[in-house]
Amino acid sequence: MDLGTIIGLVGGSLLIFSALLLGGSLTMFINIPSMLLVLGGTLAVTFIKFKMSDVIGSMQVAMKAFLVKMSDPEAIIEEMVNFTRIAKKEGLIALEKEVATDPFASKALRYLSDGYDETLIEDMLNKDIRLTIQRHTLGQNVFKAMGESAPAFGMIGTLIGLVQMLSSMDDPSTIGPSMAVALLTTLYGALLANFICLPLAEKLSLRSGQEKLNKSIIVEAALGINRGVSPLVLEECLRIFLTPKQRVPKNEAATEAPKKGADIQ
């Protein structure tokens, strides 16, 4: 589970509700027709723009932002280097018995143990990456479209409320409450767009980039294993995918730390 997403949603919700309560009664910010207009209108436009299966599928993709914890690239590198050692000692066929933590890595090991051609391995794994990114992009586009439509329907609701208010100008006592209700749809649209839909689209984009990085590491490792690259050389090649701070292996970082302390003394 992604703790950052949960903290953001819960913390943001608490701040919003606190602001509403401090400003007065919470019930004054609740208007069912306005909610139905914003939510219903946003979903209706989304179904017009995309296929129903794509919209439903995007909801499943969105759950990844909450429930799926991405694998650590360093852990993937360590695991793939270990597979390289096994392949060096026992041959590629020995990888058939190995179980990888990542399903994509398991697929790469199966291709290697079955003796697939290197070009075929690269093409099939890269095709898997492209199709995965394409599915993720579709999910992002659905939430971006919802983020664009929600404020628009908030404004439509406000205009409807203003028309209703102006039609009853003969009763000044109804102007204030009618204006408040009219503005609530704008509030609902802004919250739906900027607190839920657009942040989820950005989180899915971030997750997509992380998954692409992990899979690219696995592809590079699989090709290196197939070519018979030594574990040390392969590890050095794979660490290029990491940030400069992460590229130093943990065992080397542990040995360098006392040296720096000795220099300071």
| pLDDT mean over 158-172 | 82
| pLDDT mean over 246-253 | 63
Q: Sign of dihedral through CA atoms 76, 82, 84, 87?
A: negative
Query: For residue 251, what pLDDT is reported?
Result: 56
Letter for the amino acid at 163? V
Residue showing tokens 């943001």: 12
- CB-CB neighbours of 210 under 10 Å: 13
Specify the pTM: 0.81
Spatial separation of the C-alpha atoms in residues 64 and 59, rounded to whole Å = 9
How do residues 86-120 score in pLDDT, each as one tens digit?
999 999 999 999 999 999 999 999 999 999 999 99
- Residue with the bigger pLDDT between 181 and 228: it is 228
How do residues 132-153 score in pLDDT, each as one tens digit?
899 889 989 999 999 999 999 9
| pLDDT mean over 181-204 | 91
Q: Which residues contact 217 (CB under 8 A, 6 or more apart)?
A: 73, 76, 77, 80, 238, 241
pLDDT band at 260 (very low <50, low <70, confident <90, very high): very low
